[in-house]
Structure 1
Amino acid sequence: MLRDDLRTLWTEPRPPAAPVRVRRDWALLAAGLGGAVLEATLRENVVWRPVAVVFTVWLCLLPLWRRTRPLTTVTLAFGSMVLLQAAWLVAAPREPVGLYTGAVVLVLVYALLRWGSGREIVLGVAVILATGTLCSVTDDTPVVENVMGIVFLLLPGVIGAAVRFRVTAHERQLEQLRSREREQLARELHDTVAHHVSAMVIIAQAGGVLAGTDPSAAVEALKGVEEEGARTLEEMRAMVAALRDRGVGAELAPPAGVADLERLVRTPGGRLRVDLGLDGELDALPPAVDAAVYRIVQESVTNALRHAVDATELVVRVAAERHTVRVSVGDNGKRTGRGRDGYGLTGLRERATLLGGTLRAGPGTDRGWYVEAELPRARSESGVHSRPRR
């Protein structure tokens, strides 16, 4: 089992999307260089002052590559420490060589476990331990102090590993949430297609019965099958972007939509007055878009009831335009500065993206919190065309 764990650690990839350099990297460099200059100027007992300054400047530059080259930066930093320790042994000065600003090397230890691959972590920790052991053996510091020094040196790495685990767990939760949203969307699309197919079968059966006695009725039945088939193809185009677990069953029931918003906004207890406004042709939306509008309003109303501070009114607007449907929900509560963009809104963003739309959420200009979404009335797929409805 231990061998399997080590093999898993060795093959662990780097975390994705590691930033190359950000603003705080340059701030860290400026602070390190400034500290080195001040320390070299003000301290009187600096051994080998030029060497100590050059060495510290070298350590301050290495963190610029700590995310993209974590093992390389650790090896260069601690390798240079070994060379400096060897020179110190040969010259045998009375005091250690270096500046206190060289503690910037702790940032490299943090970055090794935060951004390195499993192989880089194992090799980098080995370099750190070997350097610490060599320095402990070659000086007169008590063993307990040396051990505590190595523990202190590795502490940033423990923090980096903890941050990495937390971020990975959060990303895994978000991915599971996106998968559930895709599955729910696919189930709703499946139900819609099943309704259309059922109608086609019933119309076709009726046409077969009437074909011998009333040919005109059979022709009308064929037209009905054509219309239902066109609607079915239109809805199935949206299923290309969604995945569904085949082991999950589906009930043949239409999902809630715009027609159910009146019932939804009757909030229990009356703490918030909901102003619902519907504009445009909303009775002929594709079922997937219809269900998405309902889910966006439902999640927004739920968030307002739970989190809106001192809010008295919630404004809900759904407007159908020629090619899009716009949804906006906003409350008049206080702007507390605390974001409410949790897992629910993340799932709605995934649903809007699958349908080819967008969703934005954030604090309002003056007060409260707002959610805005724009969804296409019909999803177009390259190279796929269906007959227009009659």
Structure 2
Amino acid sequence: MTSPVRAWWDAPAAIPPPPRRVWRDWVLVGVLAPLTFVEAALRPEVPFRWLWAGVLLALVPLLLWRRTHPLTTLTVAFAAGSIISLQGGGEPELFTTAYFLILLYAVMRWGSGRAMLLGGLLVLVGWLTSFLSRTPTAADAIGGIAVVVAVCTLGVAFRWRSRARARELDRMRLLEREQLARDLHDTVAHHVSAIAIQAQAGTAVAETDPDAAARVLRVIEGEASRTLDEMRAMVRVLRREDAADLSPLPGIGELSRLAESVPGRPQVRVAVTGGDEALPPAVAAATFRIAQEAVTNARRHARHAARIDVAATHDADGVRLEVHDDGEAAASAPPGYGITGMVERATLLGGTCAAGPDPDGGWTVTAVLPRTGWTL
């Protein structure tokens, strides 16, 4: 094999992997089965229409496995169709035989590289086999080739688009990890620096058993300094130094910066409640980042929104953040990069983040971040 063919042959299945079965599959099977009988009854001029209707009814359930076993379902369907044609059933002339194109699309969309090549070869062999029963006109041949090529192209296009989106989501997750790594680095560096300073002071003021205290404090100082150096080295690996943001970490106190009242834009109201306990800087920074992204998304995508409410409550357990807009609620929306980033940031801190339409109208983002128990 040539290198391009071998690369295609060894290509893995679709990324991300497809769902095993969704409700649309059952709807498709439920609609196609009776539609086949209706067409056979309304088109008496089609030869062997009841034979083909029976074959299609037997093959329709294969649609339920077209994502997980695309090449197998295509092979079974085309083998059955070819056998019926060669045994005197003629060419299938029912419109519902377009069902075979769905299986071909599934191979190109979700199959592995070898499944795509073998599926294309199978269709080509089936097309050439049809010449044994009849000689198609030039228009029929060109039209059939055009339809098959269009279906294959559509499947490959959606496959590449999905893979590109998955790569972009992975890139966004990496950027979020880099940002969180910086936040954690700044947090740990602050505390370790304080330990080092306290150890130096303890060395100077030790009065009881000064020699032993001095040795212990020197050990603490050395360990703290080495930990600080190792942390900085680790973060240099996790992030690009040229993209580092050296501004101070935002916290829950900076949520008030999001509040604004500008004509022509949604009014943003911020309410922060909670005890006097200081939040870990990483949790406080994540709270601000999630709120900032949620407000930005609401400004961009909430139709006819007049107000955005940001409510943050923190206690001994952690922080609960809720961002709600009063715009027109959408039934559903695909998770974009902003939502993915918010979920990734919350997950890395051991928390949760969810975004979706509110039953009372509008869109709500809810995040719960624990005070402790998280790791990078």
TM-score (normalizing by structure 1): 0.80
2:312 aligned residue (318, 327, 334):
318
Q: More displaced, 264-273 or 77-86? A: 264-273
2:112 aligned residue (99, 109, 117):
117
Q: Secondary structure at the match of 1:326?
A: strand
Alpha-carbon spacing, 1:199–1:76, altered in 2? closer, same or farther (3 Å): same
Alignment of structure 1 residues 244-323 onto 2, 5 Å: 245=238, 248=241, 254-266=248-260, 271-281=265-275, 283-323=277-317
Are 2:332 and 2:356, in contact at CA under 8 Å, matched by a contact in 1? Answer: no
Alpha-carbon spacing, 1:306–1:63, altered in 2? closer, same or farther (3 Å): closer
Q: Which AA in structure 2 matches 1:42?
A: L
Q: Which AA in structure 2 matches 1:373?
A: A
**Deviation of residue 51 (structure 1)?**
3.0
Q: More displaced, 265-274 or 169-178? A: 265-274
Question: Which residue does the alignment assign to 2:7?
Answer: 8
Aligned counterparts of 1:64 and 1:340: Cα–Cα separation in 2: 24
Alpha-carbon spacing, 1:316–1:213, altered in 2? closer, same or farther (3 Å): same
Aligned counterparts of 2:334 and 2:110: Cα–Cα separation in 1: 29
Alignment of structure 1 residues 229-248 onto 2, 5 Å: 245=238, 248=241
Q: Which AA in structure 2 matches 1:60?
A: V
Unaligned runs of 5+ in 2: none
Establish whether residue 191 from structure 1 lines up as the match of residue 186 from structure 2.
yes
Question: Which residue does the alignment assign to 2:122?
Answer: 127
Alpha-carbon spacing, 1:313–1:283, altered in 2? closer, same or farther (3 Å): farther
Question: Which residue does the alignment assign to 1:348?
Answer: 342
Question: Which residue does the alignment assign to 1:136?
Answer: 131
Q: Secondary structure at the match of 2:241?
A: coil
Question: Which residue does the alignment assign to 1:152?
Answer: 147
Q: Secondary structure at the match of 1:373?
A: strand
Are 1:303 and 1:340, in contact at CA under 8 Å, matched by a contact in 2? Answer: no
Q: Which AA in structure 1 matches 2:322?
A: S
Q: More displaced, 245-254 or 178-187? A: 245-254
Are 1:132 and 1:150, in contact at CA under 8 Å, matched by a contact in 2? Answer: no
Q: Kindly provide the CA deviation profile for residues 362-381 of structure 1, in whole angstroms up to 9, marking residues without a partner as x.
A: 23333332211111011157
Q: Secondary structure at the match of 1:30?
A: helix
1:377 aligned residue (361, 365, 371):
371
Unaligned runs of 5+ in 1: 382-390
Aligned length: 363
Alpha-carbon spacing, 1:41–1:181, altered in 2? closer, same or farther (3 Å): same
Q: Which AA in structure 1 matches 2:359?
A: T
**Deviation of residue 211 (structure 1)?**
4.1
Alpha-carbon spacing, 1:29–1:247, altered in 2? closer, same or farther (3 Å): closer
Q: Which AA in structure 1 matches 2:118?
A: L
Aligned counterparts of 1:256 and 1:67: Cα–Cα separation in 2: 46
Q: More displaced, 120-129 or 200-209? A: 200-209
Alpha-carbon spacing, 1:290–1:37, altered in 2? closer, same or farther (3 Å): same
Are 1:329 and 1:371, in contact at CA under 8 Å, matched by a contact in 2? Answer: yes
Aligned counterparts of 2:334 and 2:26: Cα–Cα separation in 1: 32
Aligned counterparts of 2:270 and 2:66: Cα–Cα separation in 1: 53
Q: Secondary structure at the match of 2:313?
A: strand
Aligned counterparts of 1:340 and 1:62: Cα–Cα separation in 2: 28
Alignment of structure 1 residues 191-230 onto 2, 5 Å: 191-211=186-206
Are 1:282 and 1:320, in contact at CA under 8 Å, matched by a contact in 2? Answer: no
Alpha-carbon spacing, 1:25–1:329, altered in 2? closer, same or farther (3 Å): closer
Alignment of structure 1 residues 13-52 onto 2, 5 Å: 13-15=12-14, 16-52=16-52
**Deviation of residue 252 (structure 1)?**
6.9
Alpha-carbon spacing, 1:173–1:380, altered in 2? closer, same or farther (3 Å): closer
Question: Which residue does the alignment assign to 1:72?
Answer: 72
Are 2:291 and 2:323, in contact at CA under 8 Å, matched by a contact in 1? Answer: yes
**Deviation of residue 126 (structure 1)?**
0.2
Are 1:14 and 1:117, in contact at CA under 8 Å, matched by a contact in 2? Answer: yes
Q: Which AA in structure 1 matches 2:238?
A: D
Aligned counterparts of 1:29 and 1:332: Cα–Cα separation in 2: 39
Are 1:357 and 1:373, in contact at CA under 8 Å, matched by a contact in 2? Answer: yes
Are 1:129 and 1:150, in contact at CA under 8 Å, matched by a contact in 2? Answer: no
Q: Which AA in structure 2 matches 1:38?
A: V
Aligned counterparts of 1:166 and 1:282: Cα–Cα separation in 2: 49
Q: Which AA in structure 1 matches 2:371?
A: R
Q: Kindly provide the CA deviation profile for residues 315-338 of structure 1, in whole angstroms up to 9, marking residues without a partner as x.
A: 221111221211112223343667
Q: Which AA in structure 1 matches 2:55?
A: F
Q: Secondary structure at the match of 1:274?
A: strand
**Deviation of residue 186 (structure 1)?**
0.9
**Aligned alpha-carbon RMSD (Å):** 3.5
Q: Which AA in structure 2 matches 1:34?
A: P
Are 1:192 and 1:254, in contact at CA under 8 Å, matched by a contact in 2? Answer: no
Aligned counterparts of 2:262 and 2:208: Cα–Cα separation in 1: 57
